[in-house]
Amino acid sequence: MIKFSVIGAGSWGSAMAYYLGKLGFTTKLWVREDEVLADLLQTGVNHTFLPGFDFPPTVSFYKSLAETVAGTEVVFIAVPSQFCRQIYLRLEENLNRGQILISLTKGLEQKTLKRMTEVMEEVFPASKKLKIGVLSGPSFAREVAAGHPTALVLASKDSGLTKDLQETISSLQLRIYTSTDVVGVELGGAVKNIIAIAAGISVGLGYGHNSRATLITRGLVEIIRLGLTLGAKRETFYGLAGLGDLVLTCTSELSRNYRVGLELTRGKSLRQILSEMKMVAEGVRNTLTVNKLAAQKKVEMPICHQVYEMLYKGKPAHKSLEELMSRSLKEEKV
């Protein structure tokens, strides 16, 4: 039976390892934090990032990256974007020829503005013939671990990879769709986090469903604009990695990015909000990278721009709303 590795024991990495283990697959989970590893080895529960779930005996826990990926065919990487390159560099010498690497990260690299699979292709030597893909879509970690029906999209340039892995890990709880649009799937996952911050701000200001529906709809337009400019397929953004993930993260306090927006309206500084969070809210860094990328490509993204102004320039939320609502009137185009 195929063996799996999961790099990163945050909520999503832990949930993926838990899910694979419950399916009966031998799964190795790499844990960065010493206290989390000690907790897992002693109790079999990740009380920090995935409390309430006892890992099955098919899942084992490691501190060594080399030991984690040794003897496994598929490696899922669930690491925040700012740490990905250094993890890839550490992994490189330990990977076997032909291993499958699947990114679970929803963000862009801050310095280069590259997607995670682009960083992988840059770091990993072509001689190893590694197979690279990304798995994304609407997926709160706790709900996946709890077995709530969930659907995700697996994208790769290698259609054989996606079909084989789709058949291997799909179940009654998790349905996998395939795609060849790696650009669209990765961008959808990154940009939706920024719109989620805007949605949290809107709700925190006391605005209702009309406002949130507007943000989701026009936010999707911004995602599509950037995606098409970078070569993505329009239809990808109407699917799980686009609209599906956007709706999820804009409508629930389980979303870390939504909560960032909500807490900003309660008088907390961004620094304070982030210091109180155990897990990374990718949308905060994505706001920087996506706005830089939009400026570089000359793509108009007014909602993302106003989130940047609020997070990093201290602009009052009501002023950002006023600017959004007073923009020149035009025909709706999607």
Q: Nearest 5°: CA angle at 239, between 279 and 19?
A: 45
Which is catalytic among the residues 157, 163, 192, 233? 192
Bridge partners of 156, per DSSP, are 133
Q: Is 129 a catalytic residue?
A: no
Return the amino acid letter for 240: L
| CB 116, CB 84: distance < 8 Å | yes
In angstroms, the CA 38 to CA 82 distance is 25
CB within 8 Å of 328: residues ≥ 6 apart = none
Bridge partners of 178, per DSSP, are 154
Alpha helix positions (H), the chain: 11-22, 34-43, 65-69, 81-92, 116-123, 141-145, 159-169, 182-204, 209-229, 245-250, 256-264, 270-275, 282-297, 302-312, 317-325
Of residues 163, 194, 221, 234, the one with CA closest to residue 320: 194
CB within 8 Å of 253: residues ≥ 6 apart = 259, 262
Gap between the terminal Cα atoms of the chain: 45
Active-site residues, by number, are 192
